[in-house]
Structure 1
């Protein structure tokens, strides 16, 4: 899933979030970008062939280790990202707010 504009590359260059990477040998197989000040996860991703091996769980644990006893947020998650939704629910994150896409027709 492509991140929303708030979490896109251009926005991340401005925000300069903290990053944690997951490696197998020298290969980056997953990462998480987050802001330790506002306690927000911007992006989390695992390479398709390495999914369902606990890598995302380890990434979330690394964030939690850096932000103990803190409520962490992830904004603008695409509702089509069912696997991500299930992962986050498994780790106790809940959906508090839904957002609807608005488009202007000219």
Structure 2
């Protein structure tokens, strides 16, 4: 179906990180501060990114496994920072 399924799997975590930021910005703009729906979806997205990286490490073979582990380490660290700032944006002046 897809010509290069490996590329779609590798690109999925950064795409979800981008969607996490867009969800936070649009949720803050449309719904406002401290909405539990926006917070619940945001709370699920980082673990999804983490488990997608674990999946990429486990399906890789040989030295590609080390490459995927390094990619996951760097992206999960940066994604955690983005996730924290998204929570700060969504919570606004409310206390979660």
TM-score normalized by the length of structure 2: 0.31
Structure ID, larger Rg: 2
More strand by share: 1
More helix by share: 2
TM-score normalized by the length of structure 1: 0.29
